[in-house]
Amino acid sequence: MAQNNRPPNWKEDGDEVLCKVWIQISEDSSVGHYQSTSEFWRRFGVMFVAKGFGISRVDTCLAARRKTIQHQCGA
């Protein structure tokens, strides 16, 4: 039987951590707008796990979920 390598579905606590990390990295004045997209999402992934959520997700997964939340909020 093939092993499923997908992380579990998103839950509300994961969405909350994702939003908090987005704000924290976006407002980091020590880096500002001078970081590349890949560096932004690398930092995002590291901080997402460091915030105690405990699930490592690939950058594209984090970006897609953030876009879904943004769309649902009408932003």
Tens-digit pLDDT profile for residues 13-45: 778 888 888 888 888 888 767 778 888 888 888
Would 4 be classed as within a structural domain? no
Burial class (CB in 10 A: 0-12, 13-18, 19+), 48: buried
The residue ranking higher by pLDDT, 8 or 69, is 69
CA-wise closest residue to 69 among 3, 4, 37, 23: 23
The CA angle 70-47-56, to the nearest 5 degrees, is: 85
Instruction: For the full predicted model, state whether its pTM sits above 0.75.
Output: no
Q: What is the domain range of residue 52?
A: 12-27+34-72
Would 2 be classed as within a structural domain? no
**Number of folded domains that form the chain:** 1
Would 53 be classed as within a structural domain? yes
**In the structure encoding, which two tokens stand for residue 68, read together?**
């879904």
Give me the helix-helix angle, 12-26 and 59-72, nearest 10°.
Answer: 100
Would 55 be classed as within a structural domain? yes
